[in-house]
Structure formats: C-alpha cells, structure tokens
C-alpha cells in the first residue's frame, strides 16, 4: 500500500471518528469503534469497518449508519481538502467474533 493511501486512510479514520462521536445518534449503551479504513488506489471509494459493542446491536448500528450515511459523508467532505473525494461505505467488523469462534474450537480440540 502506498504512503499516500495510508495517510488518506488515517485522515479519514480520524475525521470520521470525530464526526461520528458528535453527529451519530445511537441509543444509550451502544458503542462503535472504527476498526479499519480501506481506500481504493484511485481514491474513489472507502470502506470503513466498524466494531459494535454490544454485538447484539450490530443490526441496529448497520441500519443507523445506512440511514445517516449521507450526512456523515457530507460532514467528511466539508473537512477534507482533496480530489477526488471518496464515497464511503460502512461494514460491520466481525473479526473479533470470528476469533472467539476459532478460540472455542481450539479449546474443544485440546
């Protein structure tokens, strides 16, 4: 991955973290963390993986992000000074859940 893409990913991660903390209206007790940001080489698309706590609220967070995506993206564009501006998509990060499953299987085997 190029240095430019790495810096763009870091910038998007920082700005989205700030925007989501201030602008995203989640119900009380639901927390999200930006786990990973992947921007394409042509800077047109960015996929943002978010972790959800508690895991049982993943569907709620997915729907909320889908509903508020355009507002979040507009706030991001106001703060970014680059062209092209990447289109953002959100996905729920399930890495931790998958790791827990693997760990349980390994414990059962040994």
Domain of 17: which CATH number? 3.30.300.20
Residue range 23-72, pLDDT digits in tens: 888 888 899 999 999 999 999 999 999 999 888 888 999 999 999 999 99
Q: Who's near 55: CB < 8 A, 6+ residues apart?
A: 97
Write down the pLDDT at residue 95.
Answer: 77
Mean pLDDT, rounded, of the chain: 89
Nearest-angstrom CA–CA distance, 42 and 46: 10
Number of domains present in the structure of the chain: 1
Overall pTM surpassing 0.85 (yes/no): no
The whole domain housing 18 covers 3-109
């Amino acid at each position: 991955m190029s240095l430019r893409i790495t810096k763009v990913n870091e910038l998007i991660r920082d700005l989205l973290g700030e925007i989501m903390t201030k602008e995203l209206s989640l119900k009380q007790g639901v927390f999200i963390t930006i786990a990973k940001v992947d921007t394409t080489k042509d800077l047109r698309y960015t996929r943002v993986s978010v972790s959800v706590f508690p895991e049982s609220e993943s569907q709620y967070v997915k729907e909320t992000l889908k509903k508020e995506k355009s507002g979040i993206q507009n706030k991001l564009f106001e703060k970014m000074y680059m062209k092209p501006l990447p289109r953002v998509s959100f996905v729920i990060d399930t890495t931790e859940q998958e790791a827990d499953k693997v760990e349980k299987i390994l414990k059962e085997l040994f």
